[in-house]
Amino acid sequence: MTRTAAEVGAGLAPARPARAIRPGERIHVVGVAGAGASAAALHAHWAGAIVTGCDPGGPSPYTPALEAEGIPLAWAHDPDHVSAEPHPDRLAVTKALTAVSPDHPELAAAHRLAIMTEPWQQVVADAAFGRTLVAIAGTHGKSTTAGWLTHILAAAGTDPSAFVGALLPGSITGAFPATARRGSGNVFVVEADEYAGNFDVFWPDLVAITNIDWDHPDVFADRAAVLSTFQDWLKRTPESTLVGNVGDSGFAELFERVRRRPGKTVRAAVVSDDVSLHEDVLLEVMGVGPDRTRVELYGVGHALSVPIELPTAGHHNVANAVMVAATARELGLNSSEIALGLTTFPGIGRRLELKGEAAGIAVYDDYGHHPTAIRATLEALRQREPGRRVWAAYEPLTYHRTAALLDAFATVLSTADGVAVADIWAGRDPDTSVASAAELAEAVRAKRPGLVAEATGSVEGTATWLADHVAPGDVVLVMGGGRSYQIGENLLETLRARLIT
């Protein structure tokens, strides 16, 4: 079932231009333990609002930063969070909550009391009011690109603020790992998600689009629908600067649609046979190693070329890097500042993140939950860990995505040396009838007969299954949304316990 953005966000205030958060304004954040909602809570708190939050899922990797700031958190939903005096001035929620739980008790209480309910993205947009808003959009690579750009800007001394949909390390935030950075500078970087028009609340001065692919089949019927959503968003800010990766077929098609917009366009690309050497900013791959990619950067400053060693693996990260370089140039950074920032990026959470090694088995964690992202991550892991047997442990994210892209998921997962498919994480998708983990595992085996590929149950059960099947020298790549990050943590704990006993 495909739903419109209006259906997903029913009951929420429509997107509006940002306004400054008032000191003392009361904002209650529902689902505060999520990556985006936690950032909204932090930025509202830093802006002087009185912030509270709740989440029945309990603490998450994103909540220690909230606790460090003294933001009151409750681990259950309760209409008293809204109806008790003094009432909040507004509720910030994830837009999909209105589709999955239209009778949610806190939403119902807010409606009874005529308290404004808005997507949490609106709070982030309001926190950025009055700054130069830089929106990083695209189907894949948003978090890495936004985090990398934030790192470069911070290293150059511009002190940016940011919201990124993955944990930024303390070396970037200057404090606790968090999905938000508090800065005093003029630039505010946001990760802008196209799902159900989530990015409509952002009216950016600069838009950087990494790529465009078909995803979120519960709201986009096909790739053309995704392209139209991006096109409509860009129409709202025709004077904004647009930076795009013209080496991506999706963005190249979008660019043809919006070519006549009056705002400046900056064309970036990775050098290949399919890309002209006449783009504004280019990266050319000169060599790869297990944890480094040597590139030449063209088109930044007056240097003919700048040699750089990216501290990342994978072609997708080269594409992210050229977008970062092009965007940083537009924000006034010189070639030396850009080269230094590209070289020193520490990475962000759950992006081919090495969680540890036990019993000779390395465990990596990644947020990849789309066939394109999974393929890129597996290729990057092969670069980083050459010659080792690779197990792919995947927790599918939403039933409709799994059903719509089942064959593509099976194809890419079958390139691993062993596959564990955990139970599907429903998230905002309540229709459990359209797909199953067992169906995906069967499809993987059909692609490559003889390959070990099993539906392994819960994240806890998946970790136990892997511990019984891996051998010294193997690498495990955990991927997915939901609770998938716990697979790697539990696997390492189990392997270490077995070493002791």
CA atoms of 76 and 57, how far apart (whole Å): 8
The residue type at 112: R
Per-domain boundaries in the chain: 5-124, 131-344, 353-500
**DSSP one-letter string for 161-225:** EEEEEEEEPHHHHSSS-EEEE---SSEEEEE---GGGGGGG---SEEEE-------TTT-SSHHH
- Give 353-500's CATH code, choosing from 3.90.190.20, 3.30.70.260, 1.20.1630.10, 3.30.365.10: 3.90.190.20
Question: What φ, ψ does residue 218 adopt, rounded to 5°?
Answer: -75, -20
What's residue 134's pLDDT? 98
CA atoms of 367 and 357, how far apart (whole Å): 19
pTM score of the predicted model = 0.95
pLDDT in tens, the chain (501 residues): 677 776 777 789 999 999 999 999 999 999 999 999 999 999 999 999 999 999 999 999 999 999 999 999 999 999 999 999 999 999 999 887 777 777 889 999 999 999 999 999 999 999 999 999 999 999 999 999 999 999 999 999 999 999 999 999 999 999 999 999 999 999 999 999 999 999 999 999 999 999 999 999 989 999 999 999 999 999 999 999 999 999 999 999 999 999 999 999 999 999 986 766 678 999 999 999 998 999 999 988 655 688 999 999 999 999 999 999 999 999 999 999 999 999 999 999 999 999 999 999 999 999 999 999 999 999 999 999 999 999 999 999 999 999 999 999 999 999 999 999 999 998 877 778 899 999 999 999 999 999 999 999 999 999 999 999 999 999 999 999 999 999 999 999 999 998 886
* CATH of segment(s) 131-344: 3.40.1190.10
Query: In sequence order, what are the residues at sequence separation of 6 or more whose Cβ sits closer than 8 angstroms to the Cβ of residue 21?
Result: 27, 44, 47, 48, 49, 123, 126, 127, 129
Contact 368, 317 (CB under 8 A): no
| CATH class of this structure's domain 5-124 | alpha beta
Contact 275, 247 (CB under 8 A): yes
